[in-house]
Structure 1
C-alpha cells in the first residue's frame, strides 16, 4: 500500500485546504486521475494520482487544512502485469540491456501529474544481406551501420523539419488562441443579451462546442436579478449568534493569504500615491478601430489593452518602477527587472487574485489582447495556476469596470508600483479654449517610496497618460 503526501504545489507554500474529494475508499484510480481539489494561498489546484489501484483511506476531511507533507490518501497499488498476446514477444524480452527503465517511484507533483515514463525502444535487428554487425556485436540485435555522409544528411534534414515544425506551431498559436477565447453565440442570442444588458463574456455556454444559448442568457439575467431581489432580505437573515445578527466565516485560503500580504505591504513599503486626469478620447477611437479590424476578429478589445501597453512602454522609460526592494545578508538592494510580468488584479468569487502575463514586453498588441482575455477567463473559472500568480513585476487594477473613478491601491508584495485604472466617462473638457465633451479617465498610482521617488513616479504616470492621450506614440 502506498501513501501520497500533500506536495508543495506552489513556491514555498506551507498548507492547503481540502475543497473536495473526487474519490472515496474502495474506488479504483488510474495514474493521472484527479482525486482531490485543494485550495492553497494562491489558487484552486486539482491533484492527479501518481498511483493506480484501489483507494484504501482518505486522511483528511473536506474543509480541513493540512500542512505540506501530511498524508493525503493511501492506495493499494495494482502490481500485476497483463498477460502478453499470443505469439507476440514481451517488450521486456526484446528490449536492449541498456534500455532506460521508468522509475516506479512518483516524482515531485506540482498539480500536473507525475513525470512521463522514460522511452522504451525496441531492439533493432539488421536484415540479411544489408549491413554487417558492428565490431564486437553479437549476431542478434546488432545495429545497422549507416555511412557517415548519409548520417549527416539525415541529421541535417531532421533539424530542418524540426525548425519548420516550430515555425508552423508558433504561427498557429495566435489563431488557435483567438478561436478558443472567442465568445460563441448566434446573432439572435447576442441581440437578446444586448437588450438585457448582459455581458456575454460573463455567461457560461451550455450549447454544443460551448455555445451560449438564449436560455443561458435568460438564466444568467434571472440569477443577477434574484441576487438583487434578495438584498432587502439581508438585514433579516439569521446568523449563528443568539440574536441571529452575526455570521462567522473562517479566514483561510485566498482571503487569508491576501490579508497577510496586504498588511505586510502596507506596513513595510512606505506608500506614496499620485493621480492624473487623462483625455482618453483617442484611446476610445483607437479601440473602436481595433474592434473593426480583421486581425482582431473574435478577440475582445477594451481600453485596458491600451493601458497595459502604455504601462510596458512607460516602464521601459522609467525602469525603477519595474523593480523589487530585497533584504539580503549584506543589506538591502534594489533589483531592477529587464522583463515585465504584468499583473492584472482580478475580482473572483474566491477573492482578489493577481495573475500575471509573463514576458509581456515581448507581446504584440494582438498577442497582449489574447493574453488579457485568457487571464480573465481563467480567473473567472477559478483555474488560475500557482505559477501564474508568482513572479509579477508591476500590477494594474482595473477599478473602472465597476464605475469607480480612482483609488489608492496597495502595492502587490515584491513589487514597487501599482496603477489603478478608473472608469472612462464623458465629461466637459477644455480644448483650444472651448469646452467640449471628451472621454476622461483618472489614473492613480501607488509607489514604494524607498525605490520610486516623487519625480520618478510623476514621470512614469505622465508617460502612461501620454499614451492614453495619443496611442500613436506606441509606434515611435
Structure 2
C-alpha cells in the first residue's frame, strides 16, 4: 500500500471572496471525505458579510478531511478542507491487488437513467483568483436523489401552478441561486423535490414558497410587500423556553459594526421638513405614460433621487468625506448615490455610480437594476463600496420618518417617509393633499446647520414644485 506523504496532501484555505473581508460562514458542503474532486469543482457554499458564494477547489485529488462543519464561521486564510493529490483512490487500494494504469481524465458526467446516454454537466463559474480550469466541473450528486420523488402535497401544488413534476434523478443538483438555497434551507424545503419554473430549469423564490405553502400559513392581506421585508425566519421550537438566542453573523454582523462605528465617530445632526408632494405624484403618473420611460422603473423614489442630486449640485460642499488620518475634508466631484435595500440577508446599501451624470431615464434604469439585483441576492461587494450619499425609503413600511444613521465615509443620508393623503392649506383653503416628511442626517464635522438646511429645503422645494427640476438641474 502506497504511503501518503505530507507533500501529497494539499490544504484549501478560506479565500477573501470580497474586498477586505475577514471571515465567512460555511453554509453547505457538496463533498465528503473519500470523494474525488477535480480542478474547478465547487466543494462548498459560504456566506460573507456581502453575499453567498460557491467555492471551487483549484486542484484534483481525493478529499481527506473537512476541517469545519456546516454553520461554522471561519477566518480568511484558515484551511477548511484537505485533499490527497498523490493518486486518489489508487493510493488507497488494498495490498496485493494490481493498481489500474492511469487514464486520461474524461469529461465528468451526470448520472443518467438506465438506458439513457450520460449527460455532461454544465461548467460552473470559476472564482476570481483561481484562473480557468481546463477540465469540466463535476459536482457530487445528492445522496439518495435518484430515489427521491416529490412529496404528495408539493406535487399537487406544482400541478396547481401549471407545472408537471419532473423526475428528480434528471439532475444531479438542483439549479438555484444562493439566496434561493438559503430560503429553502430556512423553510425546510428540499430543492430536489421542487419543479423549477425559471429559465433553463432554475428554481426561483416563488417555487420555494409554493413548495412550502402547505406548511406555512397564508400572509395577511395587509402585510407589507414581500420585496420590502426580509424572508421568513426558520421555524424555532421553543419547548417552553422564555428566550431564543440568534447568532449575529453575515450581513447583520457587518451592518451592526458599521452602524456602531458611524454613530460613535461622526457627530450626527438630523433635520426634518414636511412637504406637499401632490404635484410630484401627478408627475409620476405622467412619466409612466411617457414613451421614453416605457419599461423603466418610475415611482416617487425616482423623483426623490433626482431632487437630491439637483440639491447636491446646488450645494456641492455637502458631498464630502472626513479623512481623519490626514485631517482633511475630501470634496467629491461625483455622486455615488446609495439606495438602502432590505433583502433576505439583511439591509444592504448598493450605490448607483456617477448618478450625477445620468438623465432621468438612465437614473430610472439604474435604480431598477439596483433593486432587482438586491432582491435576487446578486449584489456584488463592489456595488456597495464608494458611496457618497444615501437615500433610505422608510415610507414603504408605513413609517412617517426616522433619524437615519450615516453610512461610514458618507456625509449625508436622506430618509423618505410614507406619502399620505392629509388635510393641507393650499391656496388659502384646507384641502386633501399628498404629504410626506423628509429627514436629513449629516456629519456635523463636514456639514453645518446652514448647509444641511439648504440641501433639505432644496429637495423639499423640488418635490413641491417638480418643474424646478428643469430650471435648477
Of residues 426, 429, 442 in structure 1, which corresponds to 2:437?
A: 442
Tell me whether 1:313 sits opposite 2:310 in the alignment.
yes
**Alpha-carbon distance in 1 for matches of 2:21, 2:74:** 11
Tell me whether 1:8 sits opposite 2:11 in the alignment.
no
1:83 Cα deviation after fit = 9.5
1:375-429 deviations in whole A, cap 9, x for unaligned?
Answer: 2222222222221222111111110111111110111111121110111111122
TM (normalized to structure 2)? Answer: 0.67
Of residues 420, 433, 446 in structure 1, which corresponds to 2:415?
A: 420
Query: Alpha carbon RMSD of aligned pairs, Å?
Result: 3.8
Tell me whether 1:322 sits opposite 2:330 in the alignment.
no
Of residues 127, 130, 137 in structure 2, which corresponds to 1:114?
A: 130
Unaligned stretches of 5+ in structure 2?
A: 1-8, 88-101, 107-124, 135-161, 163-183, 185-194, 224-232
Residue pair 1:207, 1:213 contacting (<8 A) in 2 also: no
The secondary structure found in structure 2 opposite 1:268 is coil
Residue pair 2:417, 2:438 contacting (<8 A) in 1 also: yes
Q: How does 1:271-420 map to 2 (within 5 A)?
A: 271-328=268-325, 331-420=326-415
The secondary structure found in structure 1 opposite 2:327 is strand
Q: How does 1:238-277 map to 2 (within 5 A)?
A: 239=238, 244-277=241-274
- Name which one, 1 or 2, has greater alpha-carbon Rg: 1
The 1:327/1:208 distance shift into structure 2, 3 A limit, reads: closer
Tell me whether 1:458 sits opposite 2:453 in the alignment.
yes
Residue pair 1:9, 1:386 contacting (<8 A) in 2 also: no
1:430-456 deviations in whole A, cap 9, x for unaligned?
Answer: 221122222111110111111100000
Q: What corresponds to 1:198 in structure 2?
A: none
The secondary structure found in structure 1 opposite 2:403 is coil
**Alpha-carbon distance in 1 for matches of 2:54, 2:303:** 34
The secondary structure found in structure 2 opposite 1:3 is strand
The 1:248/1:211 distance shift into structure 2, 3 A limit, reads: closer
1:32 Cα deviation after fit = 4.2
The secondary structure found in structure 2 opposite 1:311 is helix
Residue pair 2:340, 2:347 contacting (<8 A) in 1 also: yes
**Alpha-carbon distance in 2 for matches of 1:34, 1:24:** 12
Of residues 42, 45, 50 in structure 2, which corresponds to 1:37?
A: 45
More helix, by proportion: 1
The secondary structure found in structure 2 opposite 1:395 is strand
The 1:437/1:260 distance shift into structure 2, 3 A limit, reads: same
The secondary structure found in structure 2 opposite 1:452 is coil
1:255-306 deviations in whole A, cap 9, x for unaligned?
Answer: 2221121112111111110011122122211211222223333333211111
The 1:218/1:25 distance shift into structure 2, 3 A limit, reads: closer
Q: How does 1:124-135 map to 2 (within 5 A)?
A: none
